[in-house]
Amino acid sequence: MSSTQKLMAAFALLILGAVLIGTIATITLEKTTLIGVTDNLDISAARDGMAVNGSTFYATDILSQRASEGWRNDADGCSISTINMFNQTGDVLVSATDYTWTKDGDGLIGTLTLSNTFDLNTSALNTTTISYSYCDDDYLAAKWQRSVINLVGGFMALAMLAIAVGLFYSVMKEEGLLNI
């Protein structure tokens, strides 16, 4: 292989590496990040006129919708464990004071119990906002899997850099620029 061919290969490898690193990083991010969701929740079943009656409210309508959209619900670490709620006027509701979220069994479905507090009774509207995170279908649930896949892009970059440096070193040595 001539020096010119080696230089062209080294530059092509560096350009290809720069293009692939972005793609690998994007795919890796999708497999290691939970998806955050904000939904509206109709709480009319838990209200008695203007007041919340304190009864149990099952949040199956939201969670079953997510399961049908590709939510990976078959792995540990993919259950919904934290829910944040906001009342009709946008005020933050306090967990264990205004509402309680209890995972049922494996956490795929949960029970939402609303309390009869001022923040839930500030409006006659029956819509509250609920936000939570869930696992997409390709999410890697095990922590060690997420750690290993995060290393892939870095090791690929090091491998391509090592090959390019080797090619540049070979050309410099052939041309007499190095006396090693």
pLDDT, tens digit (0-9, with 9 covering 90-100), for 73-95: 555 667 666 788 888 777 888 88
Q: Evaluate whether residue 159 is within a structural domain.
A: yes
The predicted pLDDT at position 141 comes to 75
The predicted pLDDT at position 53 comes to 66
Report the distance separating Cα 171 and Cα 122, nearest Å: 75
73 with 122, same domain: the answer is yes
Q: Evaluate whether residue 180 is within a structural domain.
A: no
93 with 153, same domain: the answer is no
59 with 14, same domain: the answer is no
Q: Evaluate whether residue 83 is within a structural domain.
A: yes
Q: Evaluate whether residue 152 is within a structural domain.
A: yes
The predicted pLDDT at position 122 comes to 64
Q: Evaluate whether residue 163 is within a structural domain.
A: yes
Q: Evaluate whether residue 46 is within a structural domain.
A: yes
Number of CB atoms found within 10 A of residue 159's CB: 12
Report the distance separating Cα 59 and Cα 82, nearest Å: 13
Q: Are 146 and 32 in contact (CB under 8 A)?
A: yes
16 with 83, same domain: the answer is no
149 with 119, same domain: the answer is no
Per DSSP (E only), the strands in the chain are: 35-42, 47-48, 51-52, 56-58, 83-86, 92-93, 99-104, 109-114, 127-134
Report the distance separating Cα 51 and Cα 147, nearest Å: 47
Report the distance separating Cα 178 and Cα 171, nearest Å: 9
92 with 154, same domain: the answer is no
The predicted pLDDT at position 68 comes to 52
The predicted pLDDT at position 28 comes to 84
60 with 118, same domain: the answer is yes
49 with 83, same domain: the answer is yes
Burial (CB count within 10 angstroms: exposed 0-12, middle 13-18, buried 19+), residue 80 = buried
The predicted pLDDT at position 9 comes to 85
74 with 23, same domain: the answer is no
Report the distance separating Cα 103 and Cα 58, nearest Å: 11
Q: Evaluate whether residue 64 is within a structural domain.
A: yes
41 with 9, same domain: the answer is no
Structural domains of the chain, count: 2
Q: Evaluate whether residue 179 is within a structural domain.
A: no
Ranges under pLDDT 50 in the chain: none
Range of the domain at 152: 3-29+143-174
